[in-house]
Chains A and B, each alone.
Chain A
Amino acid sequence: MIELHEVTKRYGSLTAVDRISFSVAKGEYFSLLGPNGAGKTTIVKMLLDFTRPTSGTLSVNGLSSKDPACRTAVGYLAENPRIPPNLTGWQYLHRCAELLGMRRSEATEQSGKIVELIGMKGREHTKASTYSRGMIQRFGLGAALTGNPKLLILDEPTSGLDPIGIREIRQLLESLKHQGMTILLNSHLLSEVEKICDTAAIINSGKLLLKDSISSIIKDGETLEDVFVRLVKG
Chain B
Amino acid sequence: METPKAHSIVLIIAKYSFADEVRQKSMIVMFMISALFVFLLRECYQGDYMVNGQALSADAIAWTLSKVIFHVIAAGAMFIAALLTMRVFKRDREEGMLSCILAKPIDRWQYVAGKILGLWALSVLFMFILHGIVFFIASLSMKTLVPAYLVASLLCSINLLFVVLAVFLLSLMLPDIAAFLCAVGIGLASLAANSIYALSQSQMGQAMMQQSSEQASSGFTGWKAVYYLWPNLFGTQQSAATLIGNDGGVPVYPLMNVLFYCLILGVLLFLRFRNEEIV
Taking Cβ atoms with an 8 Å cutoff, the residues of A that contact B are 45, 48-52, 68-72, 74, 76, 78, 81-86, 95-96, 98-102, 106, 140, 143, 147
How far is A27 from B101 in the complex, measured between Cα atoms in Å? 25
The 8 A-B pairs with the shortest beta carbon distances in the complex, nearest first, are A101-B4, A82-B96, A50-B278, A76-B103, A84-B95, A72-B105, A71-B105, A68-B107
Closest A residue by C-beta to B8: A101
Q: A3 to nearest B CB, angstroms?
A: 18
Picked from A78, A81, A100, A140, the residue with its CB within 8 Å of the CB of B104 is A100
By secondary structure, the A interface counts as loop
Residues of B within 8 A of A (CB): 1-4, 8-9, 12-13, 16, 20, 23, 94-97, 99-107, 275, 277-279
Contacts of B105 in A (CB 8 A): 68-72, 74, 100
Given A50-B99, A84-B20: A100 and B1 within 8 A (CB)?
yes
For the A-B complex with A68-B105, A78-B96 known, give 9 more contacts whose Cβ atoms are closer than 8 Å: A48-B102, A71-B106, A74-B105, A76-B103, A84-B95, A84-B97, A86-B20, A101-B8, A140-B96
The interface residues of chain A lying within 8 Å CB-to-CB of B103 are 48, 50, 71, 74, 76
Contact A51 B278 (CB under 8 A): yes
With A72-B105, A84-B95 already in contact, the answer to whether A143 and B100 are too (CB < 8 A) is yes
Q: What's the nearest-Cβ distance from chain B to residue A8, in Å? A: 16
Separation of A48 and B101 alpha carbons in the complex (Å): 11
Bound complex: CA A68 to CA B107 (Å): 6
B3 partner residues in chain A, CB cutoff 8 A = 72, 101
Q: Which A residues lie within 8 Å of B275 (CB)?
A: 52
CA distance A86 to B103 in the complex (A): 21
CB distance from B113 to the nearest CB of A (A): 14
Question: Which one of B4, B97, B102 contacts A50 once the chains associate, using CB atoms below 8 Å?
Answer: B102
Minimum CB distance partner of A153 in chain B: B103
20 contacts between A and B (CB under 8 A): A48-B103, A50-B102, A51-B278, A68-B105, A68-B106, A70-B105, A71-B104, A72-B3, A72-B105, A82-B94, A83-B96, A85-B95, A86-B20, A86-B23, A95-B16, A99-B9, A99-B12, A99-B101, A99-B106, A101-B3
